[in-house]
């Protein structure tokens, strides 16, 4: 019950978040037939170690929880309707803001007006801020055809989170927002 409450709160928070989500899908696929999934097996020399194993565990747990809520069951790859995989990327962005500051304002400033008052004294200030945008892309691949049938992505400005609990919360909110519109509803 507590786990369900955490997921519901995460979904509610994702509705008012600054997360940017998008998805695309194959309209020929009947997503009501998709009942089972399996994770794509990682092809590494040492499958027990991941570069960021804790974040991998958090992402997989959040996806598993969301898909379970949507009625999908995790099975072995040979019995799955779709294979699920994700990838992440980080882009560096630059924000440049320029501000013009004038001390005082006098609409009547001109010849004979505004003497001794404030005129057009001011300066321009430019600030440059570099930040990172993290993107998580989630793919569903049909096991029979090997074709990508659904792709969703979620992106947000990266912020440092100090505790593991904060990191789990951020991942849960992002995955909840990402899968909010899955399965896709066909246009009527």
Q: What is the pairing mode between strands 148-157 and 20-25?
A: antiparallel
Q: Looking only at Cα atoms, what is the longest distance across the chain?
A: 88
What's the pTM? 0.69
Q: How far apart are CA 79 and CA 100, in angstroms?
A: 63
The yes-or-no verdict on residue 70 having pLDDT over 70 is yes
More confident residue, 181 or 85: 85
Q: Is the pLDDT of residue 13 over 50?
A: no
Instruction: Please tell me the predicted confidence (pLDDT) of residue 53.
Output: 82
Architecture in CATH for domain 2-43+50-178:
2-Layer Sandwich (3.30)
Whole-angstrom distance, CA of residue 133 vs CA of residue 92: 6
Structure confidence at residue 120 as a pLDDT band (50, 70, 90): low
| Ranges of each domain in the chain | 2-43+50-178
């Amino acid at each position: 019950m507590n786990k369900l409450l955490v997921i519901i709160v995460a979904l509610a928070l994702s509705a008012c978040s600054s997360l940017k989500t998008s998805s695309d899908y194959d309209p020929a696929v009947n997503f009501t037939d998709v009942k089972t999934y399996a994770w794509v097996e990682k092809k590494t020399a040492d499958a027990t170690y991941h570069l960021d194993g804790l974040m991998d565990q958090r992402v997989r747990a959040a996806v598993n929880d969301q898909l379970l809520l949507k009625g999908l069951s995790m099975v072995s790859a040979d019995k799955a309707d779709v294979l699920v995989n994700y990838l992440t990327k980080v882009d560096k962005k630059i924000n440049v803001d320029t501000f013009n500051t004038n001390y005082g304002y006098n609409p009547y400033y001109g010849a004979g007006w505004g003497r001794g008052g404030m005129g057009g004294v001011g300066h321009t200030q430019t600030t440059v801020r570099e930040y990172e945008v993290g993107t998580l892309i989630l793919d569903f691949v049909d096991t029979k055809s090997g074709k990508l049938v659904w792709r969703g992505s979620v992106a947000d400005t990266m912020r440092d989170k100090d505790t593991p609990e904060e990191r789990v919360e951020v991942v849960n909110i992002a995955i909840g927002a990402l899968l909010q519109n899955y399965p896709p509803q066909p246009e009527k």
